[in-house]
Structure 1
Amino acid sequence: MESIPSLSDIKRAHQRISKIILETPVMTSNSIDEMTGCTVFFKCENFQKVGAFKMRGAANMILGFRPEERVNGFATHSSGNHAQAVALAAKLSGTKAYVVMPENSAEVKIKATKEYGAEVILCEANEKSRIKTCNEIIAKTGAIFVPPFDDYRVIAGQATVAKEFIEAEESLEVIMTPVGGGGLAAGTALAAKYLDPNIEVILGEPEKADDTYKSMKAGKIMPVKNPDTIADGLKVTVGERNFEIIQKEVKEVITVSEAEIINAMRIIWERMKIIVEPSCAVPFAALLKRKDEFAGKKVGIILTGGNVDLGNLPF
Protein backbone atom coordinates (compact mmCIF):
# COMPACT_ATOMS: atom_id res chain seq x y z
CA MET A 1 0.00 0.00 0.00
CA GLU A 2 1.71 3.13 -1.26
CA SER A 3 -0.69 5.84 -0.14
CA ILE A 4 -2.65 6.91 2.95
CA PRO A 5 -5.31 4.25 3.62
CA SER A 6 -8.82 5.06 2.37
CA LEU A 7 -12.03 4.00 4.10
CA SER A 8 -12.27 1.02 1.74
CA ASP A 9 -8.67 0.03 2.69
CA ILE A 10 -9.67 0.08 6.38
CA LYS A 11 -12.84 -1.93 5.67
CA ARG A 12 -10.84 -4.48 3.67
CA ALA A 13 -8.29 -4.70 6.50
CA HIS A 14 -11.10 -5.36 8.98
CA GLN A 15 -12.55 -8.10 6.81
CA ARG A 16 -9.11 -9.65 6.28
CA ILE A 17 -8.17 -9.84 9.96
CA SER A 18 -11.62 -10.60 11.38
CA LYS A 19 -10.96 -14.34 11.35
CA ILE A 20 -7.93 -14.06 13.64
CA ILE A 21 -8.66 -11.07 15.90
CA LEU A 22 -11.30 -10.45 18.56
CA GLU A 23 -13.88 -7.67 18.46
CA THR A 24 -13.07 -6.25 21.88
CA PRO A 25 -15.73 -4.99 24.31
CA VAL A 26 -16.52 -1.37 25.21
CA MET A 27 -16.78 -0.81 28.96
CA THR A 28 -17.98 2.06 31.17
CA SER A 29 -17.73 3.02 34.83
CA ASN A 30 -20.16 5.26 36.74
CA SER A 31 -17.50 6.21 39.27
CA ILE A 32 -15.09 7.27 36.50
CA ASP A 33 -17.86 9.32 34.87
CA GLU A 34 -18.45 11.09 38.20
CA MET A 35 -14.72 11.64 38.69
CA THR A 36 -14.22 13.14 35.21
CA GLY A 37 -17.54 14.95 34.72
CA CYS A 38 -18.02 13.32 31.32
CA THR A 39 -19.23 9.99 29.93
CA VAL A 40 -16.21 7.78 29.26
CA PHE A 41 -16.25 4.68 27.04
CA PHE A 42 -13.24 2.36 27.17
CA LYS A 43 -12.46 0.21 24.10
CA CYS A 44 -10.66 -2.71 25.71
CA GLU A 45 -7.84 -3.79 23.40
CA ASN A 46 -6.12 -5.14 26.52
CA PHE A 47 -8.46 -8.12 25.87
CA GLN A 48 -7.20 -8.51 22.28
CA LYS A 49 -5.14 -11.57 21.29
CA VAL A 50 -1.54 -11.06 22.56
CA GLY A 51 -3.08 -8.58 25.02
CA ALA A 52 -2.73 -5.53 22.75
CA PHE A 53 -4.07 -3.74 19.66
CA LYS A 54 -0.79 -4.52 17.85
CA MET A 55 -2.30 -7.81 16.70
CA ARG A 56 -4.45 -5.92 14.17
CA GLY A 57 -1.68 -4.17 12.25
CA ALA A 58 0.58 -7.23 12.19
CA ALA A 59 -2.28 -9.46 11.04
CA ASN A 60 -3.32 -7.05 8.28
CA MET A 61 0.19 -6.91 6.86
CA ILE A 62 0.91 -10.64 7.13
CA LEU A 63 -2.46 -11.81 5.78
CA GLY A 64 -2.11 -9.31 2.93
CA PHE A 65 0.51 -11.60 1.36
CA ARG A 66 -0.58 -14.65 -0.62
CA PRO A 67 0.27 -18.03 0.99
CA GLU A 68 3.07 -18.69 -1.56
CA GLU A 69 4.64 -15.32 -0.66
CA ARG A 70 4.71 -16.22 3.05
CA VAL A 71 6.92 -19.31 2.74
CA ASN A 72 10.11 -17.66 4.08
CA GLY A 73 8.25 -16.21 7.05
CA PHE A 74 8.28 -12.73 8.58
CA ALA A 75 10.79 -10.80 10.65
CA THR A 76 10.65 -7.80 12.95
CA HIS A 77 12.42 -6.13 15.84
CA SER A 78 10.49 -5.18 18.97
CA SER A 79 10.81 -5.31 22.73
CA GLY A 80 7.16 -5.98 23.41
CA ASN A 81 3.65 -6.16 22.04
CA HIS A 82 4.55 -5.91 18.35
CA ALA A 83 6.95 -8.85 18.81
CA GLN A 84 4.15 -11.02 20.17
CA ALA A 85 1.70 -9.84 17.51
CA VAL A 86 4.03 -10.75 14.62
CA ALA A 87 4.78 -14.12 16.26
CA LEU A 88 1.11 -15.07 16.61
CA ALA A 89 -0.09 -13.60 13.29
CA ALA A 90 2.66 -15.50 11.45
CA LYS A 91 1.76 -18.72 13.27
CA LEU A 92 -1.97 -18.32 12.50
CA SER A 93 -1.17 -17.67 8.83
CA GLY A 94 0.83 -20.90 8.67
CA THR A 95 4.36 -19.51 8.57
CA LYS A 96 7.36 -18.65 10.73
CA ALA A 97 8.39 -15.48 12.58
CA TYR A 98 11.89 -14.25 13.44
CA VAL A 99 11.81 -11.64 16.19
CA VAL A 100 14.83 -9.59 17.24
CA MET A 101 14.47 -8.39 20.85
CA PRO A 102 16.86 -6.29 22.96
CA GLU A 103 18.63 -8.37 25.59
CA ASN A 104 17.10 -6.20 28.35
CA SER A 105 13.50 -6.94 27.23
CA ALA A 106 11.17 -8.09 30.00
CA GLU A 107 11.55 -11.84 30.50
CA VAL A 108 7.76 -12.22 30.41
CA LYS A 109 7.66 -10.69 26.89
CA ILE A 110 10.53 -12.83 25.55
CA LYS A 111 8.85 -15.95 26.94
CA ALA A 112 5.45 -15.01 25.46
CA THR A 113 6.97 -14.31 22.01
CA LYS A 114 8.64 -17.75 22.03
CA GLU A 115 5.40 -19.40 23.17
CA TYR A 116 3.61 -17.87 20.16
CA GLY A 117 6.04 -19.85 18.00
CA ALA A 118 8.63 -17.24 17.02
CA GLU A 119 12.37 -17.74 16.86
CA VAL A 120 13.68 -15.01 19.19
CA ILE A 121 17.12 -13.51 18.56
CA LEU A 122 18.50 -11.27 21.31
CA CYS A 123 20.65 -8.24 20.48
CA GLU A 124 22.26 -5.25 22.23
CA ALA A 125 19.75 -2.86 23.72
CA ASN A 126 19.89 -0.08 21.14
CA GLU A 127 18.06 0.82 17.92
CA LYS A 128 21.14 0.40 15.70
CA SER A 129 21.76 -3.15 16.91
CA ARG A 130 18.08 -4.08 16.51
CA ILE A 131 17.97 -2.90 12.90
CA LYS A 132 21.35 -4.46 11.97
CA THR A 133 20.46 -7.85 13.50
CA CYS A 134 17.04 -7.85 11.85
CA ASN A 135 18.54 -6.99 8.44
CA GLU A 136 21.03 -9.85 8.78
CA ILE A 137 18.21 -12.32 9.48
CA ILE A 138 16.18 -11.05 6.52
CA ALA A 139 19.24 -11.43 4.24
CA LYS A 140 19.81 -14.98 5.51
CA THR A 141 16.20 -16.25 5.52
CA GLY A 142 14.37 -14.21 2.89
CA ALA A 143 11.78 -13.30 5.54
CA ILE A 144 9.55 -10.25 4.96
CA PHE A 145 10.00 -7.32 7.34
CA VAL A 146 6.92 -6.25 9.35
CA PRO A 147 7.40 -2.62 10.49
CA PRO A 148 6.04 -1.81 13.97
CA PHE A 149 4.17 1.34 12.89
CA ASP A 150 5.61 3.30 9.93
CA ASP A 151 3.68 1.43 7.23
CA TYR A 152 0.28 2.10 5.64
CA ARG A 153 -0.80 -1.57 5.91
CA VAL A 154 -0.04 -1.52 9.64
CA ILE A 155 -1.86 1.83 10.03
CA ALA A 156 -4.93 0.42 8.19
CA GLY A 157 -4.95 -2.57 10.56
CA GLN A 158 -4.74 -0.37 13.66
CA ALA A 159 -7.53 1.85 12.25
CA THR A 160 -9.95 -1.06 12.71
CA VAL A 161 -9.98 -0.41 16.49
CA ALA A 162 -11.60 3.01 16.01
CA LYS A 163 -13.85 1.64 13.24
CA GLU A 164 -15.31 -0.90 15.69
CA PHE A 165 -15.47 1.73 18.43
CA ILE A 166 -17.36 4.31 16.34
CA GLU A 167 -19.75 1.66 15.03
CA ALA A 168 -20.47 0.46 18.59
CA GLU A 169 -20.86 3.94 20.16
CA GLU A 170 -22.31 6.24 17.54
CA SER A 171 -22.46 9.34 19.74
CA LEU A 172 -18.76 9.72 20.58
CA GLU A 173 -17.51 13.32 20.49
CA VAL A 174 -13.85 12.64 21.31
CA ILE A 175 -11.54 9.64 20.87
CA MET A 176 -8.26 9.53 22.82
CA THR A 177 -5.30 7.21 22.27
CA PRO A 178 -1.68 7.18 23.39
CA VAL A 179 1.01 8.01 20.82
CA GLY A 180 4.40 6.34 20.44
CA GLY A 181 5.29 5.35 16.89
CA GLY A 182 1.85 6.54 15.86
CA GLY A 183 0.28 3.51 14.13
CA LEU A 184 -2.81 3.52 16.33
CA ALA A 185 -2.96 7.33 16.55
CA ALA A 186 -2.82 7.74 12.76
CA GLY A 187 -5.27 4.88 12.15
CA THR A 188 -7.71 6.30 14.71
CA ALA A 189 -7.51 9.75 13.13
CA LEU A 190 -8.27 8.32 9.68
CA ALA A 191 -11.19 6.16 10.88
CA ALA A 192 -12.72 9.15 12.69
CA LYS A 193 -12.27 11.41 9.66
CA TYR A 194 -14.02 8.92 7.35
CA LEU A 195 -16.77 7.63 9.66
CA ASP A 196 -17.64 10.74 11.72
CA PRO A 197 -15.66 13.91 10.94
CA ASN A 198 -17.20 15.62 14.00
CA ILE A 199 -15.18 13.40 16.35
CA GLU A 200 -12.10 15.12 17.76
CA VAL A 201 -9.02 12.91 18.05
CA ILE A 202 -6.75 13.81 20.98
CA LEU A 203 -3.52 12.01 21.87
CA GLY A 204 -1.83 11.44 25.21
CA GLU A 205 1.96 11.33 25.47
CA PRO A 206 4.44 11.09 28.37
CA GLU A 207 6.29 14.34 29.17
CA LYS A 208 9.49 12.26 29.19
CA ALA A 209 8.92 10.99 25.62
CA ASP A 210 7.12 13.96 24.08
CA ASP A 211 8.43 13.85 20.50
CA THR A 212 4.97 13.99 18.88
CA TYR A 213 3.97 16.99 21.01
CA LYS A 214 7.19 18.79 20.03
CA SER A 215 6.87 17.68 16.40
CA MET A 216 3.33 19.11 16.16
CA LYS A 217 4.60 22.44 17.51
CA ALA A 218 7.64 22.46 15.18
CA GLY A 219 5.80 21.23 12.08
CA LYS A 220 8.42 18.52 11.54
CA ILE A 221 9.57 15.35 13.32
CA MET A 222 11.63 16.08 16.43
CA PRO A 223 13.21 12.72 17.40
CA VAL A 224 12.82 11.52 20.97
CA LYS A 225 15.99 11.87 23.08
CA ASN A 226 16.71 9.60 26.08
CA PRO A 227 13.07 8.72 26.79
CA ASP A 228 12.86 7.70 30.44
CA THR A 229 9.22 6.84 31.05
CA ILE A 230 7.32 4.02 32.69
CA ALA A 231 5.22 3.95 29.50
CA ASP A 232 7.72 1.67 27.75
CA GLY A 233 5.55 1.22 24.65
CA LEU A 234 5.78 4.96 23.89
CA LYS A 235 9.56 5.46 23.92
CA VAL A 236 9.92 5.53 20.13
CA THR A 237 9.94 8.49 17.75
CA VAL A 238 6.76 8.93 15.71
CA GLY A 239 7.00 7.47 12.19
CA GLU A 240 7.05 9.64 9.05
CA ARG A 241 3.86 8.24 7.49
CA ASN A 242 2.17 8.35 10.87
CA PHE A 243 3.17 11.95 11.57
CA GLU A 244 1.91 13.12 8.18
CA ILE A 245 -1.57 11.85 9.10
CA ILE A 246 -1.43 12.99 12.76
CA GLN A 247 -0.35 16.49 11.76
CA LYS A 248 -3.40 16.89 9.51
CA GLU A 249 -6.09 15.00 11.41
CA VAL A 250 -5.35 15.19 15.16
CA LYS A 251 -6.64 18.11 17.21
CA GLU A 252 -4.08 18.08 20.03
CA VAL A 253 -1.41 16.14 21.93
CA ILE A 254 -1.60 16.40 25.73
CA THR A 255 1.51 15.48 27.73
CA VAL A 256 1.39 13.91 31.19
CA SER A 257 3.88 13.32 34.00
CA GLU A 258 5.02 9.94 35.32
CA ALA A 259 2.96 10.46 38.51
CA GLU A 260 -0.13 11.22 36.41
CA ILE A 261 0.38 8.05 34.34
CA ILE A 262 0.73 5.87 37.45
CA ASN A 263 -2.32 7.47 39.07
CA ALA A 264 -4.44 6.90 35.94
CA MET A 265 -3.26 3.30 35.69
CA ARG A 266 -4.16 2.69 39.31
CA ILE A 267 -7.65 4.19 38.93
CA ILE A 268 -8.38 1.90 35.94
CA TRP A 269 -7.19 -1.16 37.90
CA GLU A 270 -9.25 -0.19 40.96
CA ARG A 271 -12.44 1.11 39.35
CA MET A 272 -12.66 -0.97 36.16
CA LYS A 273 -11.17 -4.13 37.72
CA ILE A 274 -9.06 -4.70 34.60
CA ILE A 275 -5.32 -4.91 33.95
CA VAL A 276 -3.80 -2.18 31.81
CA GLU A 277 -0.14 -1.42 31.14
CA PRO A 278 1.34 2.04 31.80
CA SER A 279 1.35 3.14 28.11
CA CYS A 280 -2.35 2.33 28.00
CA ALA A 281 -3.19 4.69 30.90
CA VAL A 282 -1.62 7.76 29.23
CA PRO A 283 -4.74 9.08 27.41
CA PHE A 284 -6.84 8.61 30.56
CA ALA A 285 -4.17 10.56 32.47
CA ALA A 286 -4.55 13.31 29.84
CA LEU A 287 -8.33 13.35 30.35
CA LEU A 288 -7.94 13.61 34.14
CA LYS A 289 -5.40 16.42 33.76
CA ARG A 290 -7.70 18.53 31.57
CA LYS A 291 -11.12 17.23 32.61
CA ASP A 292 -12.76 20.67 32.64
CA GLU A 293 -12.31 20.83 28.85
CA PHE A 294 -14.18 17.54 28.41
CA ALA A 295 -17.07 18.29 30.80
CA GLY A 296 -20.35 16.81 29.64
CA LYS A 297 -18.83 15.20 26.54
CA LYS A 298 -18.91 11.59 25.38
CA VAL A 299 -15.26 10.54 25.35
CA GLY A 300 -13.90 7.28 23.95
CA ILE A 301 -10.54 6.02 25.21
CA ILE A 302 -8.71 3.15 23.53
CA LEU A 303 -7.11 0.94 26.18
CA THR A 304 -4.20 -0.27 24.11
CA GLY A 305 -2.85 -3.23 26.06
CA GLY A 306 -2.55 -5.14 29.29
CA ASN A 307 0.86 -6.81 29.21
CA VAL A 308 2.31 -5.99 32.60
CA ASP A 309 5.15 -7.49 34.61
CA LEU A 310 3.10 -8.27 37.73
CA GLY A 311 6.26 -8.57 39.80
CA ASN A 312 7.18 -4.98 39.03
CA LEU A 313 4.08 -2.81 39.49
CA PRO A 314 4.49 0.96 40.13
CA PHE A 315 1.95 0.98 42.98
Structure 2
Amino acid sequence: MPELPEVHALATDLGRRLGGRVVDRLSILAFPALKTFDPPVEAVHGMRVADVTRHGKFLDLTLEPTGSGDGADEPAAFPIHLVMHLARAGWLRWRAEAPKPVTKPGRSPIAARIVLDDGSGIDVTEAGTKKSLAIHLVRDPAEVPGIARLGPDPMTDEFDEETFARILAGRGREQIKGVLRNQSVIAGIGNAYSDEILHVARMSPFTPANMSPEKVATLYTALRSTLAEALERADGLAASELKGEKRSGMRVHGRTGEPCPVCGDTVRQVIYSDSTFQYCPTCQTGGKPLADRVLSRLLK
Protein backbone atom coordinates (compact mmCIF):
# COMPACT_ATOMS: atom_id res chain seq x y z
CA MET A 1 0.00 0.00 0.00
CA PRO A 2 1.41 3.41 -0.89
CA GLU A 3 1.91 5.51 2.24
CA LEU A 4 2.74 9.16 2.87
CA PRO A 5 6.16 9.23 1.10
CA GLU A 6 4.94 7.36 -1.99
CA VAL A 7 1.67 9.31 -2.26
CA HIS A 8 3.63 12.56 -1.92
CA ALA A 9 5.95 11.44 -4.74
CA LEU A 10 2.98 10.34 -6.86
CA ALA A 11 1.39 13.77 -6.41
CA THR A 12 4.65 15.43 -7.49
CA ASP A 13 4.98 13.15 -10.51
CA LEU A 14 1.36 13.67 -11.54
CA GLY A 15 1.67 17.41 -11.07
CA ARG A 16 4.66 17.43 -13.42
CA ARG A 17 2.92 15.31 -16.04
CA LEU A 18 -0.63 16.66 -15.81
CA GLY A 19 -0.27 20.23 -14.58
CA GLY A 20 -2.02 22.62 -16.95
CA ARG A 21 -3.20 19.81 -19.22
CA VAL A 22 -6.83 19.50 -20.33
CA VAL A 23 -8.85 16.38 -19.49
CA ASP A 24 -10.89 14.82 -22.26
CA ARG A 25 -12.62 12.20 -20.10
CA LEU A 26 -12.58 10.02 -17.03
CA SER A 27 -13.47 6.44 -17.90
CA ILE A 28 -14.55 4.17 -15.05
CA LEU A 29 -13.91 0.51 -15.92
CA ALA A 30 -14.44 -0.95 -12.44
CA PHE A 31 -17.77 0.56 -11.46
CA PRO A 32 -17.51 -0.21 -7.69
CA ALA A 33 -14.39 1.98 -7.51
CA LEU A 34 -16.44 5.13 -8.08
CA LYS A 35 -17.93 6.20 -4.76
CA THR A 36 -19.80 9.36 -5.83
CA PHE A 37 -22.39 10.34 -8.43
CA ASP A 38 -22.49 14.15 -8.20
CA PRO A 39 -20.69 15.70 -10.03
CA PRO A 40 -20.98 13.08 -12.78
CA VAL A 41 -17.85 11.80 -14.50
CA GLU A 42 -18.85 13.69 -17.66
CA ALA A 43 -18.26 16.96 -15.81
CA VAL A 44 -14.47 16.62 -16.04
CA HIS A 45 -14.54 16.96 -19.85
CA GLY A 46 -12.61 20.05 -20.91
CA MET A 47 -11.33 20.86 -17.43
CA ARG A 48 -7.72 21.78 -16.74
CA VAL A 49 -5.54 20.09 -14.11
CA ALA A 50 -4.72 23.03 -11.83
CA ASP A 51 -2.97 21.20 -9.00
CA VAL A 52 -2.14 17.78 -7.61
CA THR A 53 -1.84 17.42 -3.84
CA ARG A 54 -2.34 14.80 -1.15
CA HIS A 55 -4.28 14.42 2.09
CA GLY A 56 -2.69 11.59 4.09
CA LYS A 57 -2.80 8.65 1.65
CA PHE A 58 -5.36 10.34 -0.63
CA LEU A 59 -4.38 11.86 -3.99
CA ASP A 60 -6.26 15.02 -4.97
CA LEU A 61 -6.36 16.34 -8.55
CA THR A 62 -7.90 19.81 -8.67
CA LEU A 63 -9.69 20.37 -11.99
CA GLU A 64 -10.71 23.88 -13.01
CA PRO A 65 -12.93 25.05 -15.88
CA THR A 66 -11.28 26.36 -19.03
CA GLY A 67 -14.36 27.86 -20.73
CA SER A 68 -16.92 30.49 -19.80
CA GLY A 69 -19.95 29.64 -21.91
CA ASP A 70 -23.16 27.93 -20.89
CA GLY A 71 -23.40 25.41 -23.73
CA ALA A 72 -23.92 21.71 -23.14
CA ASP A 73 -20.33 21.00 -24.14
CA GLU A 74 -18.85 23.54 -21.74
CA PRO A 75 -17.03 22.30 -18.64
CA ALA A 76 -18.51 22.64 -15.19
CA ALA A 77 -18.41 26.19 -13.79
CA PHE A 78 -16.78 25.15 -10.53
CA PRO A 79 -13.59 23.34 -9.53
CA ILE A 80 -13.86 19.58 -9.19
CA HIS A 81 -11.58 17.45 -7.05
CA LEU A 82 -10.76 14.00 -8.40
CA VAL A 83 -9.75 12.20 -5.21
CA MET A 84 -8.25 8.72 -5.23
CA HIS A 85 -7.29 6.28 -2.49
CA LEU A 86 -5.17 3.48 -3.95
CA ALA A 87 -5.80 1.14 -1.01
CA ARG A 88 -3.67 -1.99 -0.71
CA ALA A 89 -3.15 -2.97 -4.35
CA GLY A 90 -3.88 0.15 -6.37
CA TRP A 91 -1.35 2.04 -8.49
CA LEU A 92 -0.99 4.57 -11.30
CA ARG A 93 0.52 3.98 -14.72
CA TRP A 94 1.43 6.80 -17.10
CA ARG A 95 0.33 6.22 -20.67
CA ALA A 96 1.99 8.34 -23.37
CA GLU A 97 -0.33 7.23 -26.16
CA ALA A 98 -4.07 6.91 -26.68
CA PRO A 99 -5.45 3.85 -24.84
CA LYS A 100 -6.51 0.68 -26.55
CA PRO A 101 -10.09 -0.43 -25.76
CA VAL A 102 -10.45 -2.81 -22.82
CA THR A 103 -12.43 -5.76 -24.20
CA LYS A 104 -13.06 -7.46 -20.85
CA PRO A 105 -13.36 -4.75 -18.17
CA GLY A 106 -14.16 -7.20 -15.39
CA ARG A 107 -10.90 -9.09 -15.94
CA SER A 108 -8.64 -6.10 -16.52
CA PRO A 109 -6.58 -4.62 -13.68
CA ILE A 110 -7.48 -1.17 -15.02
CA ALA A 111 -10.08 0.41 -12.76
CA ALA A 112 -10.20 3.85 -14.36
CA ARG A 113 -8.56 5.98 -17.02
CA ILE A 114 -7.80 9.67 -17.06
CA VAL A 115 -7.54 10.58 -20.75
CA LEU A 116 -6.07 13.94 -21.76
CA ASP A 117 -7.02 15.84 -24.88
CA ASP A 118 -4.09 14.36 -26.83
CA GLY A 119 -4.93 10.77 -25.82
CA SER A 120 -2.18 10.38 -23.23
CA GLY A 121 -3.02 10.03 -19.55
CA ILE A 122 -3.07 7.85 -16.48
CA ASP A 123 -4.37 4.32 -15.96
CA VAL A 124 -5.53 3.63 -12.41
CA THR A 125 -4.96 -0.06 -11.72
CA GLU A 126 -5.74 -2.49 -8.93
CA ALA A 127 -4.27 -5.98 -8.65
CA GLY A 128 -5.79 -8.99 -6.88
CA THR A 129 -9.34 -10.00 -6.16
CA LYS A 130 -9.97 -7.86 -3.07
CA LYS A 131 -11.02 -4.52 -4.54
CA SER A 132 -10.70 -1.52 -2.22
CA LEU A 133 -9.57 1.26 -4.51
CA ALA A 134 -11.79 4.34 -4.20
CA ILE A 135 -12.40 7.25 -6.58
CA HIS A 136 -14.40 10.33 -5.60
CA LEU A 137 -15.51 13.33 -7.65
CA VAL A 138 -16.36 16.14 -5.24
CA ARG A 139 -16.45 19.92 -5.05
CA ASP A 140 -14.54 19.94 -1.75
CA PRO A 141 -12.07 17.26 -0.56
CA ALA A 142 -13.69 17.40 2.88
CA GLU A 143 -16.75 15.73 1.32
CA VAL A 144 -14.73 12.51 1.16
CA PRO A 145 -15.41 10.73 4.50
CA GLY A 146 -11.87 9.36 4.77
CA ILE A 147 -10.38 12.84 4.38
CA ALA A 148 -12.85 14.40 6.81
CA ARG A 149 -11.70 11.89 9.46
CA LEU A 150 -7.96 12.36 8.94
CA GLY A 151 -5.73 13.21 11.85
CA PRO A 152 -2.86 15.71 11.54
CA ASP A 153 -0.15 15.33 8.91
CA PRO A 154 3.05 14.27 10.73
CA MET A 155 5.36 16.23 8.40
CA THR A 156 3.86 19.68 8.93
CA ASP A 157 5.45 22.29 11.18
CA GLU A 158 2.38 22.17 13.43
CA PHE A 159 3.05 18.52 14.24
CA ASP A 160 5.63 19.15 16.96
CA GLU A 161 6.69 16.93 19.84
CA GLU A 162 4.18 18.51 22.20
CA THR A 163 1.33 17.76 19.81
CA PHE A 164 2.58 14.19 19.41
CA ALA A 165 2.76 13.75 23.20
CA ARG A 166 -0.86 14.89 23.60
CA ILE A 167 -1.98 12.47 20.90
CA LEU A 168 -0.23 9.52 22.55
CA ALA A 169 -1.47 10.40 26.03
CA GLY A 170 -5.01 10.45 24.69
CA ARG A 171 -4.70 6.89 23.34
CA GLY A 172 -3.96 5.43 26.77
CA ARG A 173 -3.07 1.74 26.74
CA GLU A 174 -3.55 1.23 23.02
CA GLN A 175 -0.61 -0.48 21.34
CA ILE A 176 1.65 2.03 19.63
CA LYS A 177 1.75 0.07 16.36
CA GLY A 178 -2.02 0.49 15.94
CA VAL A 179 -1.93 4.14 16.99
CA LEU A 180 0.66 5.03 14.36
CA ARG A 181 -1.44 3.30 11.67
CA ASN A 182 -4.75 4.88 12.68
CA GLN A 183 -5.50 7.48 10.00
CA SER A 184 -7.91 9.31 12.29
CA VAL A 185 -5.05 9.84 14.75
CA ILE A 186 -2.09 10.53 12.43
CA ALA A 187 -2.48 10.77 8.65
CA GLY A 188 -0.36 8.91 6.15
CA ILE A 189 1.50 6.20 8.09
CA GLY A 190 0.66 2.59 7.30
CA ASN A 191 1.94 -0.88 8.08
CA ALA A 192 5.36 -0.51 6.46
CA TYR A 193 6.48 2.81 7.87
CA SER A 194 5.11 2.09 11.33
CA ASP A 195 7.40 -0.97 11.35
CA GLU A 196 10.33 1.18 10.26
CA ILE A 197 9.62 3.96 12.76
CA LEU A 198 9.41 1.55 15.67
CA HIS A 199 12.62 -0.18 14.62
CA VAL A 200 14.48 3.16 14.50
CA ALA A 201 13.03 4.02 17.92
CA ARG A 202 14.04 0.56 19.24
CA MET A 203 10.51 0.13 20.56
CA SER A 204 8.17 -2.86 20.74
CA PRO A 205 5.05 -2.61 18.56
CA PHE A 206 3.03 -3.49 21.67
CA THR A 207 4.28 -0.60 23.81
CA PRO A 208 1.34 1.36 25.30
CA ALA A 209 0.83 4.72 23.60
CA ASN A 210 0.79 6.66 26.88
CA MET A 211 4.53 6.52 27.49
CA SER A 212 7.19 8.51 29.31
CA PRO A 213 8.37 11.88 27.96
CA GLU A 214 11.75 10.32 27.13
CA LYS A 215 10.14 7.62 25.00
CA VAL A 216 7.87 10.17 23.34
CA ALA A 217 10.91 12.22 22.34
CA THR A 218 12.67 9.14 20.96
CA LEU A 219 9.63 8.02 18.99
CA TYR A 220 8.94 11.52 17.65
CA THR A 221 12.50 11.82 16.36
CA ALA A 222 12.27 8.36 14.78
CA LEU A 223 8.95 9.21 13.12
CA ARG A 224 10.12 12.47 11.60
CA SER A 225 13.52 11.19 10.49
CA THR A 226 12.15 7.97 8.97
CA LEU A 227 9.50 9.76 6.94
CA ALA A 228 11.90 12.56 5.93
CA GLU A 229 14.44 10.02 4.66
CA ALA A 230 11.74 8.18 2.70
CA LEU A 231 10.47 11.44 1.21
CA GLU A 232 13.99 12.35 0.15
CA ARG A 233 14.57 8.95 -1.47
CA ALA A 234 11.27 9.14 -3.36
CA ASP A 235 11.67 12.75 -4.44
CA GLY A 236 11.71 13.07 -8.22
CA LEU A 237 11.01 9.41 -8.94
CA ALA A 238 8.38 8.39 -11.46
CA ALA A 239 5.47 6.22 -10.37
CA SER A 240 7.07 3.21 -12.06
CA GLU A 241 10.13 3.48 -9.78
CA LEU A 242 8.47 4.07 -6.42
CA LYS A 243 7.55 0.51 -5.45
CA GLY A 244 11.10 -0.75 -5.92
CA GLU A 245 12.55 2.21 -4.04
CA LYS A 246 10.21 1.63 -1.11
CA ARG A 247 11.15 -2.04 -0.83
CA SER A 248 14.87 -1.34 -1.08
CA GLY A 249 14.71 1.29 1.66
CA MET A 250 13.08 -0.93 4.30
CA ARG A 251 15.15 -2.04 7.29
CA VAL A 252 12.77 -4.64 8.75
CA HIS A 253 9.40 -4.42 7.00
CA GLY A 254 9.05 -7.24 4.47
CA ARG A 255 12.40 -8.71 5.52
CA THR A 256 11.36 -11.68 7.66
CA GLY A 257 14.24 -14.09 8.11
CA GLU A 258 16.89 -11.61 7.02
CA PRO A 259 19.53 -10.13 9.36
CA CYS A 260 18.72 -6.85 11.06
CA PRO A 261 20.93 -4.13 9.48
CA VAL A 262 21.66 -2.71 12.94
CA CYS A 263 22.45 -5.72 15.14
CA GLY A 264 22.43 -8.75 12.84
CA ASP A 265 19.64 -10.60 14.67
CA THR A 266 17.02 -12.33 12.54
CA VAL A 267 14.03 -10.18 11.63
CA ARG A 268 10.80 -11.83 12.79
CA GLN A 269 7.15 -11.28 12.02
CA VAL A 270 3.76 -11.41 13.67
CA ILE A 271 0.87 -12.61 11.50
CA TYR A 272 -2.67 -11.37 11.92
CA SER A 273 -5.74 -12.43 9.95
CA ASP A 274 -5.27 -9.79 7.26
CA SER A 275 -1.77 -8.37 7.76
CA THR A 276 1.70 -8.98 9.13
CA PHE A 277 4.35 -6.84 10.70
CA GLN A 278 8.09 -7.27 11.16
CA TYR A 279 10.48 -6.35 13.96
CA CYS A 280 13.92 -7.11 15.37
CA PRO A 281 13.86 -8.86 18.78
CA THR A 282 17.28 -7.58 19.84
CA CYS A 283 16.62 -3.96 18.88
CA GLN A 284 12.99 -3.76 19.96
CA THR A 285 11.91 -6.37 22.50
CA GLY A 286 14.96 -7.14 24.62
CA GLY A 287 15.70 -10.27 22.60
CA LYS A 288 12.32 -11.86 23.27
CA PRO A 289 10.14 -12.94 20.32
CA LEU A 290 6.55 -11.74 20.23
CA ALA A 291 3.77 -14.33 20.27
CA ASP A 292 2.40 -14.75 16.78
CA ARG A 293 -1.29 -14.21 17.50
CA VAL A 294 -3.78 -11.38 17.94
CA LEU A 295 -3.40 -9.50 21.22
CA SER A 296 0.12 -10.89 21.53
CA ARG A 297 2.26 -10.29 24.55
CA LEU A 298 5.93 -10.87 25.15
CA LEU A 299 6.63 -14.52 25.75
CA LYS A 300 7.75 -15.11 29.32
If the TM-score is normalised by the length of the shorter chain, which range does it land in? under 0.3
Q: Tell me which structure has the larger Cα radius of gyration.
A: 2
More helix per residue:
1
Task: Give the structure with the higher percent strand.
Answer: 2
Q: Normalising by the residue count of structure 2, what TM-score does the alignment of the two structures yield?
A: 0.28
Using structure 1 for the length normalisation, give the TM-score: 0.27
